[in-house]
């Protein structure tokens, strides 16, 4: 278990140390393997050793008791790996698009060359990165939800997790607490799934090391891991007790955990929002989306003050020309006491495939990084 005074250093040493041969799969990325291509095997149970019987030819003495061996509970069943995208559908995806047209990229590059905006932009990115990189004493949990489906909550969760994994040195975890055919694994580029949140609730134990735990997770780039909510099967369930067991057990291993919740008012989503140190409410930049979100924020004003103070609205533009004045709508939502960030329309995100940060439009990358910094700062204020 990581030391309470310097748990991040202990976790990093555990993560980056040379693994024993039987756990070499946990460091596949360090040996050039794609993080989503190999699903790690669960840790093997260590046999218990007992005290040796005394020799009758030696003087009678009390034998020294043998030290108990580390024991990891094995799951009752070992699920098979399943592809994130069925082979019958894998050929339907088109080549990923750039987030903005070539003309817009060229025009932006020219403006940056002939003006002083480039230096200001670099300075802003540096300040934002420093905010994200602040150390934590205990793992921060950030819950992302929405009022209804199609609001972009999974996209926002993927953007946040990717930003934290890029800028932070400690491990980052993305949890899918939406078992109803959630799309977080697809957004993060995972190829196969095996263990789920409900599975891990029956496996994780306090004495497990980080390497033991990550054997049940999907490894992602930049020191990040994914815990899926389902294997793409209809009818998968996740109850609040299982969710709480997993989140309490995993919190000590990861500096930041981003949870992609069910839509409100699902029970697990309510538990996740109340337990998290910061909350993100994804809302589409439409009249319907603004109206619903404003009603929820007004309801939250009747809750303890830290709830709305620790909530950030991610206002996502679903089209290049929204049917509302986005800035005016954002100001109206801010009047409730919540923080609001606008994510501009991005063709790459709108395609709905795997998130590739190098294809995002520059305004989208900057807005996502600002959002990540704001949410992380709010999480630091809540212990």
Residues 24-37: what's their mean pLDDT?
A: 37
Spatial distance between the Cα atoms of 122 and 111, rounded to a whole number of angstroms: 15
Spatial distance between the Cα atoms of 103 and 125, rounded to a whole number of angstroms: 24
201-205, 234-238, 253-257, 354-358 — which is least confidently predicted? Answer: 234-238
Residues 301-315: what's their mean pLDDT?
A: 90
3-state SS, residue 258: strand
Helices 117-132 and 362-380, axial angle in degrees (round to 10):
30
Q: Distances from the Cα of 172 to the Cαs of 74, 132, 175, in angstroms?
A: 25, 12, 10
Tokens of 338: 């919540």
Tokens of 47: 């046999």
55-59, 301-305, 333-337 — which is least confidently predicted? Answer: 55-59
Closest CA to 191 of 226, 237, 242, 155: 226
Q: With contact defined as beta carbons under 8 Å apart, do 285 and 342 qualify?
A: yes
pLDDT digits (tens, 9 = 90+) for 222-264: 889 999 887 666 555 677 888 888 888 898 899 999 999 888 7
Residues 186-197: what's their mean pLDDT?
A: 87
Tokens of 10: 């202990």
Tokens of 214: 């990550």
Spatial distance between the Cα atoms of 383 and 380, rounded to a whole number of angstroms: 7
3-state SS, residue 130: helix
Spatial distance between the Cα atoms of 128 and 374, rounded to a whole number of angstroms: 9
pLDDT digits (tens, 9 = 90+) for 1-17: 444 444 444 444 444 44
Question: Considering the chain, what percentage of its residues have pLDDT values greater than 90?
Answer: 37
Angle 327-329-333 from CA coordinates, rounded to 5°: 115
Spatial distance between the Cα atoms of 308 and 305, rounded to a whole number of angstroms: 6
Closest CA to 376 of 159, 79, 148: 159
Write down the pLDDT at residue 205. Answer: 86
Higher pLDDT, 192 or 226: 226
The CB density around residue 350, as the number of other CB atoms within 10 Å, is 17
Write down the pLDDT at residue 53. Answer: 44
Tokens of 171: 């491990």
Residues 23-46: what's their mean pLDDT?
A: 40
Write down the pLDDT at residue 306. Answer: 84
Q: Strand runs (DSSP E) across 191-305, as ranges?
A: 192-193, 218-220, 224-227, 256-261, 278-284
Spatial distance between the Cα atoms of 254 and 225, rounded to a whole number of angstroms: 9
Compute φ and ψ for 280, nearest 5 degrees.
Answer: -125, 125
- Residues 6 or more apart from 235 whose CB is under 8 A from it? none
3-state SS, residue 108: helix
pLDDT digits (tens, 9 = 90+) for 127-158: 999 999 999 988 999 999 988 878 889 999 99
Instruction: Grade residue 28 by pLDDT with cuts at 50, 70 and 90.
Output: very low
105-109, 183-187, 258-262, 278-282 — which is least confidently predicted? Answer: 105-109
| Residue 77 preceded by cis peptide, ω within 30 | no
Indicate the pTM of the whole model.
0.74
Tokens of 312: 């950030």
Spatial distance between the Cα atoms of 104 and 373, rounded to a whole number of angstroms: 26
Compute φ and ψ for 225, nearest 5 degrees.
Answer: -135, 155
Reading phi first (left if > 0) and then psi (alpha if -120 to 50, else beta), residue 352 is in left
Arithmetic mean of pLDDT over the chain: 77
**pLDDT surpassing 50 at residue 31:** no
Residues 168-175: what's their mean pLDDT?
A: 95
Write down the pLDDT at residue 206. Answer: 80
């Amino acid at each position: 278990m990581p030391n309470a005074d310097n748990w991040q250093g202990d976790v990093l040493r555990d993560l980056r140390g040379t693994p024993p041969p039987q756990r070499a799969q946990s460091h596949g990325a360090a040996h050039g393997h794609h993080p989503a291509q190999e699903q790690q095997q669960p840790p093997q149970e260590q046999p218990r050793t007992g005290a040796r019987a005394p020799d009758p030819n030696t003087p009678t003495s009390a034998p020294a008791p043998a030290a108990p061996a580390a024991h990891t509970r094995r799951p009752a069943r070992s699920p098979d790996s399943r592809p994130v995208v069925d082979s019958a559908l894998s050929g339907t995806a088109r080549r990923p698009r750039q987030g903005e047209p070539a003309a817009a990229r060229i025009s932006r590059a020219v403006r940056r060359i002939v003006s002083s905006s480039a230096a200001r932009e670099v300075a802003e990115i540096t300040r934002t990165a420093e905010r994200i990189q602040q150390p934590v004493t205990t793992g921060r949990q950030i819950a992302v939800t929405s009022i209804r489906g199609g609001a972009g909550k999974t996209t926002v969760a993927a953007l946040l997790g990717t930003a934290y994994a890029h800028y932070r040195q400690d491990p980052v975890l993305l949890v899918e607490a939406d078992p109803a055919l959630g799309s977080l694994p697809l957004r993060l580029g995972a190829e196969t799934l095996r263990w789920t949140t409900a599975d891990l609730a029956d496996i994780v134990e306090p004495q497990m090391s980080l390497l033991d735990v990550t054997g049940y997770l999907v490894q992602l780039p930049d020191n990040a891991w994914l815990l899926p909510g389902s294997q793409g099967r209809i009818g998968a369930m996740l109850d609040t007790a299982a969710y709480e067991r997993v989140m309490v057990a995993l919190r000590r291993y990861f500096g930041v955990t981003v949870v992609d919740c069910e839509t409100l008012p699902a029970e697990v989503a309510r538990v996740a929002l109340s337990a998290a140190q910061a909350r993100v409410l994804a809302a589409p930049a439409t009249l319907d989306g603004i109206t619903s979100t404003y009603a929820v924020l007004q309801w939250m004003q009747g809750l303890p003050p830290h709830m709305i103070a620790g909530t950030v609205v991610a206002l996502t533009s679903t089209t290049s020309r929204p049917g509302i004045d986005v800035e005016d709508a954002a100001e109206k939502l801010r009047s409730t006491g919540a923080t609001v960030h606008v994510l501009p329309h991005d063709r790459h995100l709108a395609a709905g495939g795997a998130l590739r940060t190098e294809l995002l439009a520059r305004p989208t990358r900057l807005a996502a990084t600002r959002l990540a910094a704001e949410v992380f700062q709010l999480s630091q204020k809540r212990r």
